[in-house]
Amino acid sequence: MQFIKKHFVIISLAFVASILVAIKILVPAPTTVSSTPSPIPKAQSWNGVVPGQTTIQNLPESIGKSEATLNQNGQTTYEVERKGGGPPHEVITQNNTVELVKDRVLSGNISTFKNNYGEPEGEYFGEHQSVGFKTYVWAKDGVAVVAHEKEGVIFEVWYFQPTTLQVFLSTWGKGLSIEPEQKSGY
């Protein structure tokens, strides 16, 4: 008993230290919640051309021969020859910056895009509906695909700056509709 009285302070400190070590081992450290905002999606690239970033002066030589074909509402459309022929690709600029690329691929399947991006934010009928094509839009990813509704074969892929579906429709999808256009009979 004499020993305990004499070393009471040291024994008490050892006991408290043991409890603190046990708590440190048994209780997990609190997790910190990061308040870092989610990254802004980057625009898709086509042959080194990035909508919203690439300027006319910086159009890479890799896109091939191009020719300005139409100036309308401050936009210039450049037609770019397709290797192997067929309809040309289109690069649309505004204020000397690429805003939209229409890559006329004429191959591939819509399932590839659905696997990469999930279900589209919207499916619309457009100028190619008469031959069975629809436009599938992933606005938040900056991609729209014109593909055959039944076969899935891709006619063209549109690349633009990621945006909302509403902004896409008011900017690039003005000719698209949810319902197919009805032909008037005579």
| pLDDT by residue, tens only, the chain of 186 residues | 666 666 666 666 566 556 555 556 665 554 443 333 334 456 678 888 899 988 888 876 667 667 667 677 778 888 888 877 788 889 998 988 999 999 998 888 999 999 999 999 999 999 888 888 999 999 999 999 999 989 999 999 999 999 999 999 999 999 899 888 776 555
DSSP reduced 3-state for 25: helix
Q: Do 168 and 159 form a contact (C-beta atoms < 8 A)? A: no
What are the sequence ranges of the domains in the chain?
56-171
At position 130, the amino acid (one-letter code) is S
The length of the chain, given as a count of residues: 186
Please give the pLDDT value at position 33.
38
At position 92, the amino acid (one-letter code) is I
Vertex 94 angle, CA 74 and 166, to 5°: 100
pTM over 0.85: no
